[in-house]
Every structure is written in C-alpha cells, then in structure tokens.
Amino acid sequence: MATGSRMPPYPLKAPRKHMRLGWKLSQDEIFDIVGDDDHGAQDLSDLAGMKWAARDGAFGDSPFVAFSKERGFYILMVCCKASFKQEFIERHVRAVRECFQIPDSLDSAFGWHMTG
C-alpha cells in the first residue's frame, strides 16, 4: 500500500443487511489479486485463505471472496463481521491490502457492498 493511499470514507457498520466490507472487483481483477480459478467464489475463498495463511494471517480473520449482488462482480471481503472498530479497520484492511498487493487504483472499489 502506498503511503499516499486514501481509502474512501465508509461507516463502521453495514448500512443494510447482507452488505459486506471489502473491494468490489471484476472477474479479471479478482483473478489477478487472488489467483486464477474456474470454479467460482468458494474456491477463490479457499485460495484467499491459503494466501492469507502463508503470510501468517490468523485463520479467523482470513478474508474471503463472495459473489456480488451485481452480476459479474466479486467482493474480496476483509472479514464477515457486521460492524467494526476503527482500529480493526486500520490494522486489518492494511494487512489484507499488503497480503494481496491490492493497488491504490482500487481504493474507490472499497466499501460496503451487497452480496448475492
């Protein structure tokens, strides 16, 4: 994560039910970040978990992948909790960004998103 990176503002609690905090990404973007897989979001979540574990990330805090309610998009979720403390966001989102080498150009894709 570049030092000049600015995440967009977001509430610490989901504005609506079934929303998850993370990056809304196209199929190409998710494959570039997590790894290429043909079997859908569950296998991408497994790949994300393995990548997270390889960097000594805690199992319970592993990010995972879900289908976006908007067809053709995926959500790389930082965690599946419903609300967060600011300290968790600052620490955990930074760790996820570093682990997956998420470019600053995707900052605008971060926030609360509906899952399918």
pLDDT bin (cut points 50, 70, 90) of residue 7 is low
Q: How far apart are CA 28 and CA 59, in angstroms?
A: 26
CB 34 within 8 A of CB 27: no
pLDDT bin (cut points 50, 70, 90) of residue 89 is confident
User: Can you give the pLDDT at residue 36?
Assistant: 67
Residue 54 class from Cβ within 10 Å (0-12 exposed, 13-18 middle, 19+ buried)?
A: exposed
**pTM of the model as a whole:** 0.78
The answer to whether residue 2 scores a pLDDT higher than 50 is: no
Q: What is the pLDDT of residues 8-27, one digit of tens each?
A: 677 778 888 888 888 999 98
Maximum Cα–Cα distance across the chain: 36
CB 16 within 8 A of CB 65: no
Q: How far apart are CA 60 and CA 80, in angstroms?
A: 10
Q: What is the pLDDT of residues 35-82, one digit of tens each?
A: 765 555 558 888 888 888 888 776 667 788 888 888 889 888 886 665
Q: What is the average per-residue pLDDT within 87-98?
A: 83
